[in-house]
Protein backbone atom coordinates (compact mmCIF):
# COMPACT_ATOMS: atom_id res chain seq x y z
CA UNK A 1 0.00 0.00 0.00
CA UNK A 2 1.45 3.35 -0.95
CA UNK A 3 1.58 5.83 1.83
CA UNK A 4 0.50 9.31 0.86
CA UNK A 5 0.91 12.10 3.38
CA UNK A 6 -2.39 13.69 4.39
CA UNK A 7 -4.48 10.81 3.10
CA UNK A 8 -5.89 7.81 4.90
CA UNK A 9 -6.39 4.21 3.94
CA UNK A 10 -9.83 2.75 4.51
CA UNK A 11 -10.82 -0.82 5.27
CA UNK A 12 -14.40 -2.01 5.34
CA UNK A 13 -14.87 -5.56 6.53
CA UNK A 14 -18.12 -7.58 6.64
CA UNK A 15 -20.09 -4.45 7.44
CA UNK A 16 -23.80 -4.88 8.23
CA UNK A 17 -26.42 -2.28 8.87
CA UNK A 18 -30.17 -2.63 9.24
CA UNK A 19 -32.94 -0.10 9.71
CA UNK A 20 -36.41 -0.45 11.24
CA UNK A 21 -39.16 -0.71 8.62
CA UNK A 22 -41.51 2.26 9.12
CA UNK A 23 -44.65 0.42 7.98
CA UNK A 24 -44.04 -2.75 9.97
CA UNK A 25 -43.01 -2.06 13.56
CA UNK A 26 -40.66 -4.59 15.05
CA UNK A 27 -39.17 -5.70 11.75
CA UNK A 28 -35.86 -4.49 10.41
CA UNK A 29 -34.55 -4.35 6.89
CA UNK A 30 -30.97 -5.30 6.13
CA UNK A 31 -29.48 -2.51 4.02
CA UNK A 32 -25.84 -3.50 4.04
CA UNK A 33 -25.24 -7.23 4.19
CA UNK A 34 -21.61 -7.83 4.95
CA UNK A 35 -19.88 -5.41 2.60
CA UNK A 36 -16.09 -5.60 2.33
CA UNK A 37 -13.52 -3.60 0.40
CA UNK A 38 -10.48 -1.50 1.03
CA UNK A 39 -8.99 1.66 -0.34
CA UNK A 40 -5.36 2.72 -0.45
CA UNK A 41 -4.38 6.17 0.74
CA UNK A 42 -4.81 8.70 -2.04
CA UNK A 43 -7.02 6.50 -4.18
CA UNK A 44 -10.11 7.76 -6.00
CA UNK A 45 -12.74 5.04 -5.98
CA UNK A 46 -16.31 5.14 -7.30
CA UNK A 47 -19.22 3.19 -5.92
CA UNK A 48 -22.02 2.44 -8.39
CA UNK A 49 -25.12 0.32 -7.98
CA UNK A 50 -28.89 0.26 -8.20
CA UNK A 51 -30.73 2.85 -6.16
CA UNK A 52 -31.57 1.77 -2.64
CA UNK A 53 -28.54 -0.54 -2.41
CA UNK A 54 -27.21 1.30 0.62
CA UNK A 55 -24.52 3.48 -0.98
CA UNK A 56 -25.49 6.57 0.99
CA UNK A 57 -25.85 4.52 4.17
CA UNK A 58 -22.31 3.28 3.68
CA UNK A 59 -20.99 6.83 3.30
CA UNK A 60 -22.83 7.96 6.44
CA UNK A 61 -21.26 5.08 8.35
CA UNK A 62 -17.78 5.98 7.14
CA UNK A 63 -18.43 9.63 8.00
CA UNK A 64 -19.37 8.48 11.50
CA UNK A 65 -22.88 9.93 11.35
CA UNK A 66 -24.53 6.54 11.96
CA UNK A 67 -23.37 3.54 13.92
CA UNK A 68 -22.83 0.13 12.38
CA UNK A 69 -24.49 -3.09 13.56
CA UNK A 70 -21.66 -5.51 12.91
CA UNK A 71 -18.41 -5.75 11.02
CA UNK A 72 -15.42 -3.48 11.01
CA UNK A 73 -14.72 -0.03 9.70
CA UNK A 74 -11.12 1.06 9.95
CA UNK A 75 -9.41 4.28 8.92
CA UNK A 76 -5.64 3.85 9.10
CA UNK A 77 -6.33 0.78 11.25
CA UNK A 78 -8.37 2.79 13.74
CA UNK A 79 -12.04 2.28 14.48
CA UNK A 80 -14.44 5.06 13.51
CA UNK A 81 -16.14 6.32 16.66
CA UNK A 82 -17.98 9.37 15.41
CA UNK A 83 -17.88 12.23 12.95
CA UNK A 84 -14.56 13.96 12.54
CA UNK A 85 -13.08 16.76 10.47
CA UNK A 86 -10.67 14.19 9.05
CA UNK A 87 -13.51 12.65 7.02
CA UNK A 88 -15.28 15.24 4.88
CA UNK A 89 -18.67 14.57 3.34
CA UNK A 90 -20.28 16.34 0.38
CA UNK A 91 -23.95 15.62 -0.35
CA UNK A 92 -25.94 15.87 -3.57
CA UNK A 93 -27.66 18.92 -2.07
CA UNK A 94 -24.81 21.35 -1.31
CA UNK A 95 -26.42 22.03 2.10
CA UNK A 96 -24.72 25.39 2.40
CA UNK A 97 -25.72 27.29 5.52
CA UNK A 98 -28.09 29.87 4.00
CA UNK A 99 -27.43 32.37 6.79
CA UNK A 100 -23.71 32.58 6.00
CA UNK A 101 -22.03 34.24 3.03
CA UNK A 102 -19.93 32.14 0.65
CA UNK A 103 -16.81 33.16 2.50
CA UNK A 104 -18.22 32.29 5.92
CA UNK A 105 -19.55 28.98 4.63
CA UNK A 106 -16.09 27.99 3.45
CA UNK A 107 -14.67 29.19 6.75
CA UNK A 108 -17.21 27.19 8.78
CA UNK A 109 -14.93 24.19 9.21
CA UNK A 110 -12.17 26.35 10.67
CA UNK A 111 -14.60 28.06 13.06
CA UNK A 112 -16.07 24.71 14.09
CA UNK A 113 -12.62 23.38 14.93
CA UNK A 114 -11.83 26.54 16.87
CA UNK A 115 -9.01 27.72 14.56
CA UNK A 116 -8.06 31.24 15.59
CA UNK A 117 -8.80 34.25 13.41
CA UNK A 118 -5.17 34.84 12.46
CA UNK A 119 -4.84 31.40 10.98
CA UNK A 120 -7.86 31.69 8.74
CA UNK A 121 -6.07 33.21 5.76
CA UNK A 122 -6.40 29.89 3.95
CA UNK A 123 -9.99 30.85 3.21
CA UNK A 124 -8.87 33.06 0.34
CA UNK A 125 -6.75 30.29 -1.06
CA UNK A 126 -9.72 27.90 -1.06
CA UNK A 127 -12.03 30.44 -2.61
CA UNK A 128 -9.52 30.88 -5.41
CA UNK A 129 -9.18 27.11 -5.72
CA UNK A 130 -12.86 26.82 -6.65
CA UNK A 131 -12.93 30.17 -8.49
CA UNK A 132 -15.44 31.99 -6.32
CA UNK A 133 -13.51 35.06 -5.10
CA UNK A 134 -16.06 37.34 -6.77
CA UNK A 135 -18.88 35.82 -4.74
CA UNK A 136 -17.20 35.97 -1.33
CA UNK A 137 -19.94 38.12 0.19
CA UNK A 138 -22.94 36.63 -1.63
CA UNK A 139 -25.48 34.52 0.16
CA UNK A 140 -26.11 30.96 -1.07
CA UNK A 141 -29.52 31.75 -2.57
CA UNK A 142 -27.77 33.88 -5.19
CA UNK A 143 -25.62 30.98 -6.39
CA UNK A 144 -26.31 28.56 -9.22
CA UNK A 145 -26.29 24.82 -8.51
CA UNK A 146 -22.74 24.36 -9.81
CA UNK A 147 -21.39 27.32 -7.84
CA UNK A 148 -23.09 26.14 -4.65
CA UNK A 149 -21.57 22.69 -5.05
CA UNK A 150 -18.13 24.23 -5.56
CA UNK A 151 -18.58 26.11 -2.28
CA UNK A 152 -19.58 22.84 -0.62
CA UNK A 153 -16.41 21.21 -1.95
CA UNK A 154 -14.23 24.07 -0.72
CA UNK A 155 -15.95 23.94 2.66
CA UNK A 156 -15.18 20.23 2.95
CA UNK A 157 -11.60 20.62 1.67
CA UNK A 158 -10.54 23.45 3.97
CA UNK A 159 -10.29 21.05 6.88
CA UNK A 160 -7.73 19.06 4.84
CA UNK A 161 -9.69 15.84 5.33
CA UNK A 162 -7.77 12.62 4.91
CA UNK A 163 -10.78 11.03 3.25
CA UNK A 164 -13.36 12.89 1.21
CA UNK A 165 -16.72 11.17 0.83
CA UNK A 166 -18.80 12.36 -2.09
CA UNK A 167 -22.46 11.34 -2.17
CA UNK A 168 -23.60 12.00 -5.74
CA UNK A 169 -22.20 15.51 -5.49
CA UNK A 170 -22.83 16.28 -9.16
CA UNK A 171 -26.15 14.46 -9.44
CA UNK A 172 -28.32 17.59 -9.49
CA UNK A 173 -26.29 19.51 -12.07
CA UNK A 174 -26.97 19.91 -15.78
CA UNK A 175 -24.83 17.91 -18.21
CA UNK A 176 -22.37 20.69 -19.10
CA UNK A 177 -21.80 21.93 -15.57
CA UNK A 178 -21.46 18.35 -14.54
CA UNK A 179 -18.65 17.60 -16.98
CA UNK A 180 -16.80 20.73 -15.95
CA UNK A 181 -17.19 19.84 -12.29
CA UNK A 182 -15.87 16.34 -12.94
CA UNK A 183 -12.69 17.88 -14.30
CA UNK A 184 -12.57 20.20 -11.34
CA UNK A 185 -12.90 17.41 -8.78
CA UNK A 186 -10.21 15.37 -10.56
CA UNK A 187 -7.98 18.43 -10.55
CA UNK A 188 -8.55 18.97 -6.82
CA UNK A 189 -7.80 15.32 -6.23
CA UNK A 190 -4.61 15.42 -8.32
CA UNK A 191 -3.42 18.47 -6.38
CA UNK A 192 -4.14 17.16 -2.92
CA UNK A 193 -4.14 13.39 -3.32
CA UNK A 194 -6.84 13.02 -0.70
CA UNK A 195 -8.46 9.60 -0.59
CA UNK A 196 -11.83 10.02 -2.30
CA UNK A 197 -14.83 7.76 -2.29
CA UNK A 198 -17.43 8.83 -4.84
CA UNK A 199 -20.97 7.52 -4.95
CA UNK A 200 -22.57 8.06 -8.34
CA UNK A 201 -25.39 6.94 -10.60
CA UNK A 202 -23.51 8.00 -13.67
CA UNK A 203 -21.32 5.26 -15.11
CA UNK A 204 -19.48 7.65 -17.44
CA UNK A 205 -18.65 9.81 -14.46
CA UNK A 206 -17.30 6.82 -12.57
CA UNK A 207 -15.10 5.69 -15.49
CA UNK A 208 -13.97 9.23 -16.24
CA UNK A 209 -12.90 10.03 -12.71
CA UNK A 210 -11.88 7.01 -10.72
CA UNK A 211 -8.96 4.63 -10.34
CA UNK A 212 -11.28 1.82 -9.48
CA UNK A 213 -15.02 1.16 -9.62
CA UNK A 214 -16.91 -0.92 -7.08
CA UNK A 215 -20.26 -2.26 -8.26
CA UNK A 216 -22.78 -2.99 -5.53
CA UNK A 217 -25.67 -5.44 -5.56
CA UNK A 218 -29.30 -4.70 -4.80
CA UNK A 219 -30.06 -4.38 -1.05
CA UNK A 220 -28.75 -5.87 1.14
CA UNK A 221 -25.75 -4.20 -0.47
CA UNK A 222 -22.52 -6.08 -1.04
CA UNK A 223 -19.62 -5.50 -3.41
CA UNK A 224 -20.38 -7.49 -6.52
CA UNK A 225 -17.46 -6.61 -8.72
CA UNK A 226 -14.36 -4.45 -8.80
CA UNK A 227 -13.05 -2.92 -12.00
CA UNK A 228 -9.69 -1.19 -12.24
CA UNK A 229 -9.77 1.68 -14.68
CA UNK A 230 -6.31 1.68 -16.12
CA UNK A 231 -6.59 4.73 -18.33
CA UNK A 232 -4.26 7.69 -18.33
CA UNK A 233 -5.68 11.05 -17.27
CA UNK A 234 -7.03 13.27 -18.74
CA UNK A 235 -9.39 10.65 -20.10
CA UNK A 236 -11.21 10.70 -23.38
CA UNK A 237 -14.88 9.94 -22.99
CA UNK A 238 -15.13 8.72 -26.59
CA UNK A 239 -12.08 6.47 -26.77
CA UNK A 240 -12.53 2.78 -27.48
CA UNK A 241 -11.13 1.66 -24.18
CA UNK A 242 -13.45 4.08 -22.33
CA UNK A 243 -16.44 2.68 -24.19
CA UNK A 244 -15.31 -0.87 -23.52
CA UNK A 245 -15.37 -0.19 -19.78
CA UNK A 246 -18.74 1.38 -20.20
CA UNK A 247 -20.33 -1.58 -21.95
CA UNK A 248 -18.71 -3.98 -19.51
CA UNK A 249 -20.24 -2.19 -16.54
CA UNK A 250 -23.61 -1.69 -18.20
CA UNK A 251 -23.79 -5.33 -19.10
CA UNK A 252 -22.94 -6.28 -15.56
CA UNK A 253 -25.57 -4.02 -14.04
CA UNK A 254 -28.12 -5.20 -16.58
CA UNK A 255 -27.48 -8.87 -15.83
CA UNK A 256 -27.60 -8.19 -12.12
CA UNK A 257 -30.93 -6.43 -12.60
CA UNK A 258 -32.30 -9.38 -14.56
CA UNK A 259 -31.21 -11.88 -11.95
CA UNK A 260 -32.91 -9.84 -9.24
CA UNK A 261 -36.16 -9.60 -11.18
CA UNK A 262 -37.99 -12.96 -10.98
CA UNK A 263 -40.44 -12.11 -13.80
CA UNK A 264 -37.63 -11.80 -16.35
CA UNK B 1 -51.21 64.45 -8.76
CA UNK B 2 -49.03 66.59 -6.52
CA UNK B 3 -51.97 68.82 -5.81
CA UNK B 4 -54.01 65.97 -4.33
CA UNK B 5 -52.79 66.43 -0.77
CA UNK B 6 -53.10 70.24 -0.53
CA UNK B 7 -56.38 69.92 -2.43
CA UNK B 8 -57.74 67.38 0.04
CA UNK B 9 -56.52 69.56 2.88
CA UNK B 10 -58.36 72.55 1.48
CA UNK B 11 -61.54 70.51 0.99
CA UNK B 12 -61.42 69.16 4.53
CA UNK B 13 -60.57 72.59 5.84
CA UNK B 14 -63.50 74.07 3.91
CA UNK B 15 -65.84 71.44 5.36
CA UNK B 16 -64.64 72.26 8.81
CA UNK B 17 -64.97 75.97 8.23
CA UNK B 18 -68.57 75.57 7.11
CA UNK B 19 -69.74 73.34 9.93
CA UNK B 20 -67.97 75.05 12.80
CA UNK B 21 -68.90 78.65 12.05
CA UNK B 22 -70.98 78.83 15.20
CA UNK B 23 -68.13 77.56 17.45
CA UNK B 24 -65.71 79.78 19.26
CA UNK B 25 -62.59 80.48 17.17
CA UNK B 26 -60.38 79.22 19.99
CA UNK B 27 -61.99 75.80 19.81
CA UNK B 28 -60.89 75.17 16.25
CA UNK B 29 -57.80 77.30 16.00
CA UNK B 30 -55.21 74.54 16.18
CA UNK B 31 -57.14 72.30 13.80
CA UNK B 32 -57.17 75.09 11.20
CA UNK B 33 -53.51 75.66 11.81
CA UNK B 34 -52.86 71.99 11.11
CA UNK B 35 -54.37 72.33 7.66
CA UNK B 36 -52.36 75.39 6.79
CA UNK B 37 -49.31 73.40 7.80
CA UNK B 38 -50.32 70.46 5.62
CA UNK B 39 -50.90 72.76 2.66
CA UNK B 40 -47.58 74.50 3.27
CA UNK B 41 -45.52 71.34 3.69
CA UNK B 42 -47.05 69.66 0.66
CA UNK B 43 -46.30 72.67 -1.52
CA UNK B 44 -42.70 72.74 -0.30
CA UNK B 45 -42.39 68.99 -1.00
CA UNK B 46 -44.00 69.48 -4.39
CA UNK B 47 -41.27 71.94 -5.31
CA UNK B 48 -38.44 69.92 -3.72
CA UNK B 49 -39.36 66.72 -5.56
CA UNK B 50 -38.48 68.36 -8.87
CA UNK B 51 -34.83 68.29 -7.81
CA UNK B 52 -34.84 65.10 -5.77
CA UNK B 53 -35.88 61.87 -7.56
CA UNK B 54 -35.93 59.73 -4.40
CA UNK B 55 -38.44 62.09 -2.83
CA UNK B 56 -40.55 61.98 -6.01
CA UNK B 57 -40.60 58.20 -5.83
CA UNK B 58 -41.68 58.29 -2.21
CA UNK B 59 -44.33 60.94 -2.85
CA UNK B 60 -45.78 59.05 -5.78
CA UNK B 61 -46.12 56.02 -3.50
CA UNK B 62 -47.51 57.79 -0.41
CA UNK B 63 -49.67 60.52 -1.90
CA UNK B 64 -52.89 58.51 -2.43
CA UNK B 65 -52.74 57.29 1.18
CA UNK B 66 -52.18 60.79 2.56
CA UNK B 67 -55.01 62.14 0.47
CA UNK B 68 -57.38 59.46 1.69
CA UNK B 69 -56.33 60.04 5.31
CA UNK B 70 -57.01 63.78 5.10
CA UNK B 71 -60.34 63.27 3.36
CA UNK B 72 -61.41 60.75 6.00
CA UNK B 73 -60.74 63.43 8.62
CA UNK B 74 -63.26 65.53 6.72
CA UNK B 75 -65.78 62.68 6.71
CA UNK B 76 -65.28 62.23 10.45
CA UNK B 77 -65.82 65.96 10.90
CA UNK B 78 -69.06 65.89 8.91
CA UNK B 79 -70.41 62.83 10.72
CA UNK B 80 -69.66 64.17 14.21
CA UNK B 81 -69.53 67.96 14.37
CA UNK B 82 -71.57 68.58 11.25
CA UNK B 83 -74.51 66.19 11.26
CA UNK B 84 -74.33 64.95 14.88
CA UNK B 85 -74.91 61.37 13.69
CA UNK B 86 -72.91 59.88 16.58
CA UNK B 87 -73.85 60.44 20.22
CA UNK B 88 -71.88 62.98 22.22
CA UNK B 89 -69.78 63.07 24.33
CA UNK B 90 -68.55 59.68 23.14
CA UNK B 91 -67.63 60.72 19.61
CA UNK B 92 -66.06 64.19 19.50
CA UNK B 93 -64.98 65.71 16.20
CA UNK B 94 -61.35 65.79 15.03
CA UNK B 95 -60.88 69.37 16.14
CA UNK B 96 -61.84 68.53 19.73
CA UNK B 97 -59.52 65.52 19.74
CA UNK B 98 -56.64 67.60 18.48
CA UNK B 99 -57.38 70.16 21.19
CA UNK B 100 -57.22 67.45 23.87
CA UNK B 101 -54.02 66.13 22.36
CA UNK B 102 -52.40 69.54 22.59
CA UNK B 103 -53.79 70.72 25.91
CA UNK B 104 -52.93 67.48 27.72
CA UNK B 105 -49.59 66.89 25.99
CA UNK B 106 -47.58 66.88 29.22
CA UNK B 107 -49.55 64.07 30.80
CA UNK B 108 -49.77 62.18 27.51
CA UNK B 109 -46.01 62.33 27.02
CA UNK B 110 -45.48 61.19 30.57
CA UNK B 111 -47.92 58.31 30.09
CA UNK B 112 -46.24 57.29 26.86
CA UNK B 113 -42.87 57.20 28.60
CA UNK B 114 -44.25 55.05 31.40
CA UNK B 115 -45.87 52.69 28.93
CA UNK B 116 -42.66 52.49 26.95
CA UNK B 117 -40.54 51.61 29.97
CA UNK B 118 -43.06 49.02 31.13
CA UNK B 119 -43.40 47.50 27.67
CA UNK B 120 -39.67 47.38 27.11
CA UNK B 121 -38.85 45.75 30.45
CA UNK B 122 -41.65 43.21 30.20
CA UNK B 123 -40.85 42.39 26.57
CA UNK B 124 -37.13 42.09 27.24
CA UNK B 125 -37.63 39.74 30.17
CA UNK B 126 -40.15 37.65 28.22
CA UNK B 127 -37.92 37.40 25.14
CA UNK B 128 -34.79 36.46 27.09
CA UNK B 129 -36.55 33.81 29.17
CA UNK B 130 -38.50 32.62 26.12
CA UNK B 131 -35.36 32.23 23.97
CA UNK B 132 -33.54 30.29 26.66
CA UNK B 133 -36.46 27.97 27.40
CA UNK B 134 -37.26 27.61 23.69
CA UNK B 135 -33.70 26.59 22.81
CA UNK B 136 -33.59 24.12 25.72
CA UNK B 137 -36.94 22.55 24.82
CA UNK B 138 -36.11 22.47 21.13
CA UNK B 139 -32.67 20.96 21.53
CA UNK B 140 -32.82 18.50 24.40
CA UNK B 141 -35.28 15.63 24.27
CA UNK B 142 -35.41 15.28 28.05
CA UNK B 143 -36.12 18.97 28.60
CA UNK B 144 -38.79 18.67 25.90
CA UNK B 145 -40.36 15.70 27.68
CA UNK B 146 -40.78 17.62 30.94
CA UNK B 147 -41.13 21.13 29.60
CA UNK B 148 -43.55 20.66 26.71
CA UNK B 149 -46.57 19.55 28.80
CA UNK B 150 -46.08 22.55 31.09
CA UNK B 151 -45.83 24.83 28.08
CA UNK B 152 -48.90 23.32 26.47
CA UNK B 153 -51.04 23.56 29.60
CA UNK B 154 -49.90 26.86 31.11
CA UNK B 155 -48.96 28.74 27.95
CA UNK B 156 -52.40 29.20 26.37
CA UNK B 157 -53.85 30.89 29.49
CA UNK B 158 -54.07 34.59 28.56
CA UNK B 159 -51.58 36.52 30.66
CA UNK B 160 -54.32 38.92 31.73
CA UNK B 161 -56.15 36.06 33.45
CA UNK B 162 -53.31 35.96 35.98
CA UNK B 163 -53.97 39.55 37.07
CA UNK B 164 -55.81 38.68 40.33
CA UNK B 165 -52.99 36.36 41.38
CA UNK B 166 -50.21 38.63 40.19
CA UNK B 167 -51.59 41.51 42.30
CA UNK B 168 -51.40 39.38 45.43
CA UNK B 169 -48.04 37.77 44.82
CA UNK B 170 -45.94 40.61 43.42
CA UNK B 171 -44.40 43.21 45.79
CA UNK B 172 -45.56 46.11 43.61
CA UNK B 173 -47.99 46.67 40.75
CA UNK B 174 -45.05 47.59 38.52
CA UNK B 175 -43.38 44.23 39.15
CA UNK B 176 -46.61 42.37 38.57
CA UNK B 177 -47.19 44.26 35.29
CA UNK B 178 -43.68 43.48 34.05
CA UNK B 179 -44.22 39.85 35.01
CA UNK B 180 -47.55 39.66 33.19
CA UNK B 181 -46.18 41.19 30.00
CA UNK B 182 -43.16 38.89 30.20
CA UNK B 183 -45.48 35.91 30.60
CA UNK B 184 -47.54 36.99 27.59
CA UNK B 185 -44.38 37.29 25.48
CA UNK B 186 -42.72 34.17 26.84
CA UNK B 187 -45.28 31.69 25.53
CA UNK B 188 -45.18 32.45 21.77
CA UNK B 189 -41.42 33.08 21.82
CA UNK B 190 -40.76 29.75 23.55
CA UNK B 191 -43.16 27.83 21.34
CA UNK B 192 -41.82 29.17 18.05
CA UNK B 193 -38.17 29.01 19.11
CA UNK B 194 -38.57 25.41 20.24
CA UNK B 195 -40.24 24.36 17.01
CA UNK B 196 -37.63 26.22 14.96
CA UNK B 197 -34.77 24.54 16.79
CA UNK B 198 -36.22 21.05 16.67
CA UNK B 199 -37.03 21.41 12.95
CA UNK B 200 -33.47 22.33 12.01
CA UNK B 201 -32.66 20.41 8.85
CA UNK B 202 -30.81 17.29 9.92
CA UNK B 203 -28.47 17.65 6.96
CA UNK B 204 -27.16 21.01 8.25
CA UNK B 205 -26.29 19.33 11.53
CA UNK B 206 -24.71 16.39 9.68
CA UNK B 207 -22.59 18.72 7.57
CA UNK B 208 -21.48 20.63 10.66
CA UNK B 209 -20.54 17.39 12.41
CA UNK B 210 -18.39 16.25 9.52
CA UNK B 211 -16.69 19.65 9.64
CA UNK B 212 -15.65 18.92 13.20
CA UNK B 213 -18.34 20.87 15.06
CA UNK B 214 -18.98 20.31 18.76
CA UNK B 215 -22.29 20.81 20.61
CA UNK B 216 -21.73 24.56 21.10
CA UNK B 217 -21.27 25.10 17.37
CA UNK B 218 -24.26 22.91 16.57
CA UNK B 219 -26.55 24.90 18.90
CA UNK B 220 -25.31 28.46 18.47
CA UNK B 221 -24.09 28.44 14.90
CA UNK B 222 -26.43 25.96 13.23
CA UNK B 223 -29.67 25.35 15.13
CA UNK B 224 -30.25 28.92 16.34
CA UNK B 225 -29.50 30.64 12.99
CA UNK B 226 -31.69 28.05 11.25
CA UNK B 227 -34.48 28.85 13.73
CA UNK B 228 -34.25 32.64 13.37
CA UNK B 229 -37.11 32.97 10.84
CA UNK B 230 -39.33 31.06 13.27
CA UNK B 231 -38.04 33.01 16.26
CA UNK B 232 -39.07 36.25 14.59
CA UNK B 233 -42.61 34.97 14.14
CA UNK B 234 -42.61 34.32 17.89
CA UNK B 235 -41.24 37.81 18.54
CA UNK B 236 -44.05 39.36 16.49
CA UNK B 237 -46.74 37.31 18.18
CA UNK B 238 -45.21 38.16 21.54
CA UNK B 239 -45.18 41.86 20.68
CA UNK B 240 -48.90 41.80 19.88
CA UNK B 241 -49.62 39.97 23.13
CA UNK B 242 -47.46 42.45 25.05
CA UNK B 243 -49.46 45.46 23.74
CA UNK B 244 -52.68 43.86 24.89
CA UNK B 245 -51.34 42.90 28.29
CA UNK B 246 -49.75 46.31 28.76
CA UNK B 247 -52.99 48.19 28.20
CA UNK B 248 -55.03 45.85 30.40
CA UNK B 249 -52.45 45.83 33.19
CA UNK B 250 -52.26 49.61 33.12
CA UNK B 251 -55.97 50.12 33.23
CA UNK B 252 -56.57 47.81 36.19
CA UNK B 253 -53.45 48.09 38.35
CA UNK B 254 -50.61 50.38 37.39
CA UNK B 255 -51.41 54.06 38.02
CA UNK B 256 -49.60 55.41 34.98
CA UNK B 257 -49.22 54.84 31.27
CA UNK B 258 -51.49 55.12 28.27
CA UNK B 259 -53.84 52.33 29.38
CA UNK B 260 -54.34 54.09 32.69
CA UNK B 261 -54.80 57.42 30.89
CA UNK B 262 -57.61 56.01 28.73
CA UNK B 263 -59.60 54.67 31.67
CA UNK B 264 -58.92 57.82 33.70
CA UNK B 265 -60.14 60.07 30.88
CA UNK B 266 -63.15 57.84 30.44
CA UNK B 267 -63.95 58.25 34.13
CA UNK B 268 -64.17 62.03 33.60
CA UNK B 269 -66.17 61.49 30.39
CA UNK B 270 -63.46 63.31 28.45
CA UNK B 271 -63.70 61.30 25.27
CA UNK B 272 -61.55 63.75 23.36
CA UNK B 273 -58.70 62.61 25.58
CA UNK B 274 -59.62 58.95 25.06
CA UNK B 275 -59.29 59.41 21.31
CA UNK B 276 -56.10 61.39 21.76
CA UNK B 277 -54.61 58.51 23.74
CA UNK B 278 -55.76 56.01 21.11
CA UNK B 279 -54.00 58.04 18.43
CA UNK B 280 -50.81 58.06 20.51
CA UNK B 281 -51.09 54.30 21.05
CA UNK B 282 -51.54 53.70 17.33
CA UNK B 283 -48.45 55.73 16.55
CA UNK B 284 -46.46 54.22 19.41
CA UNK B 285 -47.31 50.58 18.80
CA UNK B 286 -46.93 50.74 15.05
CA UNK B 287 -43.54 52.42 15.48
CA UNK B 288 -42.39 49.63 17.78
CA UNK B 289 -43.74 47.05 15.30
CA UNK B 290 -41.93 48.77 12.42
CA UNK B 291 -38.67 48.76 14.38
CA UNK B 292 -39.00 45.02 14.91
CA UNK B 293 -39.65 44.52 11.18
CA UNK B 294 -36.59 46.60 10.36
CA UNK B 295 -34.52 44.48 12.74
CA UNK B 296 -35.86 41.33 11.12
CA UNK B 297 -35.03 42.56 7.62
CA UNK B 298 -31.51 43.26 8.81
CA UNK B 299 -31.00 39.91 10.49
CA UNK B 300 -32.63 37.91 7.72
CA UNK B 301 -30.90 39.43 4.70
CA UNK B 302 -29.91 35.89 3.79
CA UNK B 303 -33.50 34.80 3.37
CA UNK B 304 -35.29 35.44 0.13
CA UNK B 305 -38.91 36.45 -0.23
CA UNK B 306 -39.65 37.75 3.26
CA UNK B 307 -42.91 39.57 4.01
CA UNK B 308 -42.70 43.34 3.92
CA UNK B 309 -44.26 45.53 6.63
**Rounded distance between C-alpha atoms, residue B83 and residue B81, angstroms:** 6
For range B220-239, the mean pLDDT: 96
Delimit the domains of chain B by residue range. Answer: 4-88, 105-299
Contact A97 B225 (CB under 8 A): yes
Interface contact B298, partner A, CB < 8 A: no
Checking if the pLDDT of B96 tops 90, the result is: no
Checking if the pLDDT of A264 tops 50, the result is: no
Contact B211 A91 (CB under 8 A): no
Give the model's pLDDT for residue A1.
39
**Residue ranges of domains in chain A, CATH in brackets:** 10-260 (3.40.50.300)
Contact A87 B303 (CB under 8 A): no
Contact B211 A88 (CB under 8 A): yes
Contact A97 B203 (CB under 8 A): no
Interface contact A137, partner B, CB < 8 A: no
Residues with Cβ within 8 Å of A73's Cβ and at least 6 positions away in sequence, in order, are A11, A12, A13, A15, A61, A62, A79, A80
For range A213-225, the mean pLDDT: 86
Which residue among B203, B217, B303 places its CB closest to the CB of A95?
B203
pTM for the model stands at 0.86
Tell me the nearest-neighbour CA distance from B36 into chain A, angstroms.
49
For range A231-255, the mean pLDDT: 88
Interface contact B209, partner A, CB < 8 A: yes
Nearest CA in chain B to A137: B302
Tell me the nearest-neighbour CA distance from A155 into chain B, angstroms.
8
Which residue among B201, B211, B301 places its CB closest to the CB of A112?
B211
Interface contact B302, partner A, CB < 8 A: yes
Give the model's pLDDT for residue B7.
86
pLDDT band at A256 (very low <50, low <70, confident <90, very high): low
Residues β-bridged to residue A197: A45, A165
Interface contact B213, partner A, CB < 8 A: yes
Which residue among A65, A100, A108 places its CB closest to the CB of B206?
A65
- How many beta-carbon pairs under 8 angstroms link A with B? 72
**A87 chain-B contacts, CB cut-off 8 A:** 210
ipTM of the complex: 0.88
User: Of A25-34, B12-21, B143-152, which has the strongest mean pLDDT?
Assistant: B143-152
CA B293 to chain centre: 11
Interface contact A100, partner B, CB < 8 A: yes
SS (H, E, C) chain A: CCCCCCCCCEEEEEEEEEEECCCCCCCEEEEEEEEEEEECCCCEEEEECCCCCCHHHHHHHHHCCCCCCEEEEEECCEECCCCCCCEEEECCCCCCCCCCCHHHHHHHHHHHCCCCHHHHHHHHHHHHHCCCHHHCCCCHHHCCHHHHHHHHHHHHHCCCCCEEEEECCCCCCCHHHHHHHHHHHHHHHHHHCCEEEEECCCHHHHHHHCCEEEEECCCCECEEEEEECCCCCCCCCCCHHHHHHHHHHHHHHHHHHHHHCCCC
Task: List, as one string, the DSSP characters of B50-81.
Answer: TT-HHHHHHHHHHHHHHHHHHHHHHHHHIIII
Checking if the pLDDT of B290 tops 90, the result is: yes
pLDDT band at A186 (very low <50, low <70, confident <90, very high): very high
Which residue among A85, A93, A98 places its CB closest to the CB of B212?
A85
Interface contact A85, partner B, CB < 8 A: yes
Interface contact B24, partner A, CB < 8 A: no
Contact A112 B217 (CB under 8 A): yes
Q: What is the CATH number of domain B105-299?
A: 1.10.3720.10
Nearest CA in chain B to A66: B206
Residues β-bridged to residue A46: A198, A213
Amino acid sequence: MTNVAGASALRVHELCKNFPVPDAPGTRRLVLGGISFSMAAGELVSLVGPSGCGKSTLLRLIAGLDSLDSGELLVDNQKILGPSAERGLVFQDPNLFPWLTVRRNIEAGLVARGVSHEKRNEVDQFMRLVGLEAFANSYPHHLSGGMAQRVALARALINQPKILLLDEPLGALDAFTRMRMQDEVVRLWENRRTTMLLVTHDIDEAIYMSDRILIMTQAPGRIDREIDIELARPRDRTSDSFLRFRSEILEHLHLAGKAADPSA
Amino acid sequence: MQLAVPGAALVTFGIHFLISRSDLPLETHSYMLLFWEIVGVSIVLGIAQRFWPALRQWMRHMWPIFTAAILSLGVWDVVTTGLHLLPLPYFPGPAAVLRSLISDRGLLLDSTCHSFVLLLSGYAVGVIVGLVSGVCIGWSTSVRYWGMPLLKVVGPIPATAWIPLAMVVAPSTMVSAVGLIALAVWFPVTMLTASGISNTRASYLDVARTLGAGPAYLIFRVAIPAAVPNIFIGLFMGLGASFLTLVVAESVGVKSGLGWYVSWAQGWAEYGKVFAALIIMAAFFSTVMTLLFKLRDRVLVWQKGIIKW
